[in-house]
C-alpha cells in the first residue's frame, strides 16, 4: 500500500512537472532514451517486535524499485523485449480515459518517424507485461513439497508420541506403528481476523468486515461443541491507518472469544467490538496465537488456525516464518488462509503461509462465498482420524485445483488485457492517420507492429499456460508418489489408499468443474 501510494504521488509530481514545462509528457519521454532516473528515498525504520530472523522488513517496504517508476514503453517489436519492458502507458489499463487520449493524440507532432510515432501511442495506452511474466514464472515453481513435508512433521510427532506412550523401544520401526490415530481427537479452531482499514472497503454495498463477521459467527455456531473448541482473535485493531499510529497498530492483537462459542446474546457484544482500524501485523497475530493452541497435538488434539484477510503483512514481520514456527512447535497447527478479493501477487504470498504448515488457501472473490469457505474447514472433522498420507493427499489435491484455477483465470485475464491494448492502439493509430499526424506508409507500418505485438503476446500466454499446467501436473504427481511410497513403507494397503485417492480426485474434479463454470459465468457477466 505504501509503495503504491509513493508511486502514485511520484507519478503526479512528474505529470505536474511536465504540465508546467508546457511539453507533452509522452513526447518528453520519447526524447529521453534512458527514461526517468530518480534516486531511491531513504527507507523508514519499521518496528519489528516479532523476533523474526534479522528483524528485516518485508520486501515491499525495503525499497522502491526502479521497475515501479513511471516511464513509457519502448517501441519494441520482439517478444522478449516487449515482455521485459518496464514502461506503461499513461492511460493503460484502468487508467484509460478516452477524451484525454484523444486530446493527447491531437497534440502529437506531425512527421514523427515510424518508431517514434509508435512509441507515442504506446506511451498513451501501451500495457506493461513484466508482472504477468513474473506470475507465470512463480506459479510454475509450485512443487507441493512444502505441504507434504509439513504433514510429515505431524506424522513424525504422532509416531514419537505413540511409541513413547506404548512403551515401545525407541528403535522400533515405523511399520510396527498404527497407520492412523485410534481415538477421536478434539479440534481447536482459532480464527485470526484482519481488522486493518482496508477491510472497511465495500463490495456490493457491504463492507468486507461485515461479510467476514457474519461468516465467522455462522461457522462458530455450526461447530459440534463436544468435538471442537473455538477461539477468535483480531489483529491491527488499535490506532489507525495513519503513519503516526503505525507503531501502535502494528503491535495490536486481542482475543475476543476463548474456548467456547458465545450464545446469541453475547455475539453482538463481541462483534460490535470489531472495527476496521489500522495496519496488518499478521506475523504478530500468528505468533501470539500460540497461547490459543490446545495441548495434546497431534494424538489427542488438533489445532487449526484460520486467517481471514484481504491483504498481507505491512508491519515488517514475516508471516511465512511465523506460520512455520507455529507449525513446528508443540501446537503442530495447520494454518489456513481465506483471502478476500486479493490480487495475484498477494495471493501467492498468502499461499506460502499455508504451504509450510500443510494448510489450505481459499480464494474468495465474492465475500458472499465466505460461508462456503468456512464450511470447507469443517471437513477436517471428518478427516481428523484419517492417516496422515490421506490428509496430505487431500491437501495437495486442493492446492493443485486452486493453482489450475488461478492459472486459467490469469490466462483469460491476460488475453483480455492483450485484446484491450490491441483495440486501443488500433483506434489510436487510425485516429492519427485520419487527422494527418502520420502518412499512410507510417500507418501501415504501425498497424503491422500492433498486429504482430498482439499475436506474439497471445501465443506467449497460450504457450505458458500449457507449459505451467503440465509442470503443475508433474509436480503434483511426484508428491503423490511420495505419499503412496510412504504409505506402503508403513505397511498400508496400496489398493486402499488408491481407492480413497480416486474418491478424493472425483470429488475435487466436481469442485473444479463448478469453479470453472462460475469463473466463466462471472467473466460473461463482466463483459
Whether residues 361 and 400 share a domain: the answer is: no
User: What is the domain range of residue 103?
Assistant: 72-159+387-526
CA-based radius of gyration for the chain: 27
- Distances from the Cα of 424 to the Cαs of 75, 120, 438, 447, 512, in angstroms? 15, 13, 17, 12, 34
Whether residues 368 and 433 share a domain: the answer is: no
Q: Is the pLDDT of residue 455 over 50?
A: yes
pLDDT of residue 182: 59
Identify the domain boundary among 384, 415, 432.
384
Query: Do 247 and 45 form a contact (C-beta atoms < 8 A)?
Result: no
**β-sheet bridge partners, residue 203:** 206
Identify the domain boundary among 384, 409, 439.
384
Q: Which three cell numbers stand for residue 181?
A: 490415530
pLDDT of residue 63: 40
Whether residues 116 and 152 share a domain: the answer is: yes
Q: Is the pLDDT of residue 497 over 80?
A: no
- Distances from the Cα of 433 to the Cαs of 76, 123, 441, 492, in angstroms? 21, 17, 10, 73
DSSP 8-state secondary structure symbol assigned to residue 259: S
What is the rounded distance in angstroms from the CA atom of residue 438 to the CA atom of residue 406?
Answer: 42
- Distances from the Cα of 36 to the Cαs of 127, 276, 376, 440, in angstroms? 18, 38, 49, 32
Whether residues 362 and 378 share a domain: the answer is: yes
Q: Which of 96-105, 210-219, 382-391, 417-426 has the lowest mean pLDDT?
A: 382-391
* CA nearest neighbour of 207 among 277, 137, 135, 147: 277
* CA nearest neighbour of 131 among 467, 410, 456: 410
Residue 173 falls inside a structural domain: no
Summarize pLDDT for 503-527 with one digit per residue, the tens. 777 766 555 555 555 555 555 554 5
pLDDT of residue 68: 47
Compute how many other C-beta atoms are within 10 angstroms of the C-beta atom of residue 491. 13
What is the rounded distance in angstroms from the CA atom of residue 521 to the CA atom of residue 511?
Answer: 15
pLDDT of residue 151: 94
| % of the chain exceeding 70 in pLDDT | 78
pLDDT of residue 521: 57
Burial of residue 412 (number of CB atoms within 10 Å: 0-12, 13-18, 19+):
middle
Identify the domain boundary among 363, 384, 405.
384
Whether residues 368 and 463 share a domain: the answer is: no
Residue 426 falls inside a structural domain: yes
Residue 67 falls inside a structural domain: no
Whether residues 464 and 519 share a domain: the answer is: yes
User: To 5 degrees, how large is the angle CA 65–CA 6–CA 11?
Assistant: 90
Residue 28 falls inside a structural domain: no
Average of pLDDT values for 190-214? 95
Residue 149 falls inside a structural domain: yes
Whether residues 251 and 344 share a domain: the answer is: yes
Consecutive H or E run containing 365: none
Burial of residue 393 (number of CB atoms within 10 Å: 0-12, 13-18, 19+):
buried
- Distances from the Cα of 115 to the Cαs of 41, 121, 294, 301, in angstroms? 34, 10, 66, 67
Whether residues 396 and 340 share a domain: the answer is: no
Summarize pLDDT for 49-88 with one digit per residue, the tens. 333 333 334 444 444 344 444 578 999 999 999 999 999 9
Q: How does 153-166 read in b/e, with b if 16+ C-beta sit within 10 Å?
A: bbbebbbeebbeee
What is the rounded distance in angstroms from the CA atom of residue 404 to the CA atom of residue 516?
Answer: 10
DSSP 8-state secondary structure symbol assigned to residue 58: P
pTM: 0.79
Whether residues 371 and 395 share a domain: the answer is: no
Whether residues 399 and 468 share a domain: the answer is: yes
Whether residues 443 and 299 share a domain: the answer is: no
Residue 463 falls inside a structural domain: yes
Number of structural domains the chain divides into: 2
Residue 32 falls inside a structural domain: no
pLDDT of residue 513: 56
Whether residues 401 and 462 share a domain: the answer is: yes
285: domain CATH number is 3.40.50.410
pLDDT of residue 61: 40
Residue 53 falls inside a structural domain: no
Summarize pLDDT for 271-310 with one digit per residue, the tens. 999 999 999 999 999 999 999 999 999 988 999 999 999 9
Q: Which three cell numbers stand for residue 2?
A: 505504501
Contacts from 368-375 at CB under 8 Å and sequence distance 24+?
A: 368/204, 368/211, 370/211, 370/212, 370/214, 370/215, 370/308, 370/338, 370/340, 371/215, 371/218, 371/219, 373/215, 373/338, 374/215, 374/216, 374/218, 374/219, 374/306, 374/338, 375/219, 375/222
Average of pLDDT values for 330-343? 95
Compute how many other C-beta atoms are within 10 angstroms of the C-beta atom of residue 131. 12
Q: Is the pLDDT of residue 22 over 70?
A: no
The 3-class SS string of 270-334 reads: HHHCCCCCECCCHHHHHHHHHHHCCCCCCCCEEEEEEEEECCCCCCCCCHHHHHHHHHHCCCCCE
pLDDT of residue 36: 33
Amino acid at each position: 500500500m505504501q509503495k503504491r501510494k509513493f508511486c502514485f504521488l511520484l507519478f503526479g509530481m512528474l505529470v505536474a512537472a511536465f504540465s508546467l514545462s508546457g511539453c507533452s509528457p509522452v513526447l518528453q519521454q520519447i526524447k529521453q532514451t534512458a527514461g526517468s532516473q530518480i534516486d531511491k528515498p531513504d527507507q523508514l525504520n519499521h518496528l519489528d517486535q516479532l523476533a523474526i530472523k534479522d528483524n528485516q522488513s518485508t520486501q515491499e517496504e525495503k525499497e522502491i524499485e526502479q521497475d515501479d517508476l513511471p516511464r513509457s514503453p519502448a517501441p519494441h517489436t520482439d517478444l522478449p523485449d516487449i515482455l521485459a519492458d518496464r514502461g506503461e502507458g499513461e492511460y493503460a489499463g484502468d487508467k484509460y480515459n478516452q477524451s484525454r487520449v484523444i486530446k493527447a493524440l491531437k497534440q502529437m507532432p506531425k512527421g514523427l518517424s515510424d518508431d517514434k510515432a509508435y512509441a507515442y501511442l504506446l506511451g498513451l495506452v501501451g500495457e506493461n507485461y513484466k508482472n504477468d511474466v513474473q506470475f507465470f514464472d512463480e506459479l510454475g515453481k509450485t512443487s507441493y513439497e512444502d505441504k507434504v513435508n509439513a504433514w510429515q512433521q505431524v506424522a513424525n510427532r504422532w509416531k514419537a508420541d505413540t511409541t513413547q506412550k506404548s512403551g515401545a523401544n525407541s528403535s522400533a520401526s515405523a511399520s510396527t506403528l498404527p497407520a492412523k490415530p485410534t481415538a477421536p481427537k478434539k479440534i481447536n479452531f482459532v480464527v485470526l481476523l484482519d481488522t486493518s482499514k482496508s477491510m472497511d472497503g465495500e463490495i456490493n454495498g457491504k463492507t468486507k468486515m461485515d461479510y467476514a463477521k457474519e461468516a465467522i459467527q455462522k461457522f462458530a455456531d455450526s461447530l459440534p461443541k463436544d468435538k471442537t473448541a473455538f477461539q477468535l482473535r483480531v489483529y491491527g485493531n488499535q490506532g489507525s491507518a495513519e503513519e503516526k499510529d503505525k507503531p501502535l497498530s502494528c503491535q495490536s492483537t486481542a482475543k475476543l472469544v476463548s474456548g467456547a462459542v458465545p450464545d446469541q446474546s453475547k455475539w453482538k457484544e463481541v462483534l460490535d467490538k470489531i472495527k476496521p482500524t489500522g495496519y496488518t501485523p499478521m506475523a504478530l497475530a500468528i505468533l501470539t496465537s500460540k497461547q490459543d493452541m490446545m495441548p495434546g497435538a497431534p494424538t489427542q488434539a488438533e489445532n487449526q488456525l484460520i486467517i481471514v484477510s484481504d491483504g498481507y503483512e505491512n508491519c515488517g514481520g514475516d508471516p511465512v516464518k511465523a506460520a512455520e514456527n507455529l507449525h513446528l512447535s508443540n501446537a503442530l497447527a495447520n494454518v489456513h488462509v481465506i483471502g478476500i478479493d486479493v490480487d495475484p501477487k498477494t495471493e501467492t504470498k498468502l499461499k506460502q503461509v499455508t504451504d509450510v504448515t500443510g494448510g489450505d488457501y481459499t480464494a474468495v472473490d465474492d465475500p458472499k462465498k465466505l460461508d462456503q469457505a468456512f464450511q470447507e474447514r469443517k471437513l477436517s472433522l471428518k478427516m481428523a482420524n484419517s492417516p496422515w498420507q490421506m490428509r496430505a493427499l487431500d491437501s495437495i489435491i486442493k492446492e493443485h485445483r486452486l493453482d489450475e484455477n488461478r492459472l486459467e483465470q490469469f490466462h483469460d485475464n491476460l488475453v483480455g488485457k492483450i485484446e484491450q491494448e490491441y483495440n486501443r492502439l488500433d483506434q489510436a493509430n487510425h485516429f492519427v492517420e485520419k487527422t494527418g499526424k502520420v502518412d499512410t506508409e507510417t500507418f501501415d507500418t504501425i498497424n503491422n507492429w500492433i498486429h504482430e505485438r498482439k499475436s506474439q503476446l497471445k501465443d506467449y500466454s497460450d504457450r505458458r499456460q500449457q507449459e505451467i499446467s503440465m509442470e503443475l501436473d508433474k509436480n503434483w504427481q511426484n508428491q503423490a508418489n511420495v505419499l503412496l511410497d510412504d504409505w506402503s513403507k508403513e505397511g498400508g494397503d496400496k489398493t486402499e489408499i488408491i481407492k480413497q485417492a480416486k474418491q478424493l480426485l472425483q470429488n475435487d474434479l466436481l469442485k473444479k468443474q463448478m469453479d470453472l463454470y462460475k469463473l466463466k459465468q462471472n467473466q460473461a457477466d463482466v463483459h
